[in-house]
Chains A and B, each alone.
Chain A
Amino acid sequence: MKEHDEQDYIDGIIKEAIQSIPPEKPGKDFMNNLMKEIDRIEAIKPVPVKAKPTISAKGWILVSSVIAIVFALLLSSGQTGQSFPLLSGWYSKISLDFSAISIPNLFTLGMISFLFFFVLEIFFITKRLNNEKLNQ
């Protein structure tokens, strides 16, 4: 019991003595310097870039339309002896004979493959560029 009281007594002495000493204070300019440094860090901090598709929705509609038209023309021209009903009148007006154009199957296949890889590449390039921007 006596030992416990003694420890409490010592504890009280040390506590009051320590609390009577004010904590150390840094220099007057500490806060200003710190906030300036934080401002500097904030200024050079890259702003996170929101991932944005390279080709917009309108762009995709345009590309899809072009592809669709090309395919329609290719398919219609590939059928010997038949004319594309919607375009036949237009052909005659501008006096062009598209039926004379012959598209080989290999070329068609090549075009399809090219378009496929083109679209695929855009997807990967867009993703990679966005990742690089975010990691900067």
Chain B
Amino acid sequence: MIRSLSFHFKSAIKNLFRHFGMTLLSLTGITIILTLIATFVVSSVNIGAITNGITKNIKIQALVDPVVTSEEIKTLQSAIQTIDGVESVVHKTKHDELESFIKNTSTGDQESAFAQYRGAENPLKDAFYVTLKNQDSLIGSTDQAQKQRLQTIRQKISEIKGITNVFYGGSSVEKLIVLLSNIKIIGYVITGILGILSIFLIQNTIKSTIYARQEEIAIMRNVGASNGFIKVPFMIEGIIIGLIGSIIPSTIVILGYPSLYKVVNAVKVVKLIEVQPFVYQVALILAGIGMVIGLIGAFLSTTKYLRFKR
């Protein structure tokens, strides 16, 4: 097999050129499909990272009843701290709260109108900011489980005496997480469908190569070439088509992603994955997908053609 590798490569490349039209057609198809796959891969991975970022930043805000004394605050804090899944608890007095509120609502050097509420007039309450433990495991977990965890912790905090309200961005965060993960799932499904589609595309190309080479195959059988041997050039042909088909999509990712990265990160709402190793990883994945698709397509059509003949 190894010895005749040059023979296989030669005939595979010859085939590619012999059916240049057909090759070009399937190359175009594979290129388009891999470009779409690239889009889905890039967005799925980034959505994953964004979801990760959001869940990492989830903080539960628990408001404290004004009647609670500053000594009792300490016991409340340690009570929240002991709840399963809580990483840390930070206490902010109502003065801290107002100051940050004023800061957020001020424009330029003009102080916010809320500044007048400083001192005894302060209507705000003391608050605890609760950070959750094991944020990374939230990503792997299903959304239902994640939702469940948030609910349980929230429930436990609100049951503590002295806590009036519990907020955590509430259902909007939940909805966002679910939405993003649905988009991710749809992306995977579409990628899968496109993958199958491109297998058919390559299968057809290889089929036409087989028909064009029927006589050659008949001669190969006639002189005693094994089915495996007959298949190899077609497999190589499929792999080459897949590999070449991944060149343009990879280039688009390598050249295009940095711009996307710049634009999105300038908005500062979400942070995309760093350009450097990521684009090359995606390019490698695309080349891998292309070759596997080519191999499967070629394998299917040759096996179908050769199986029942002796």
| A and B together in one complex | no
List the interface of chain A (C-beta within 8 A of B).
none
Query: B residues near A, CB below 8 A?
Result: none
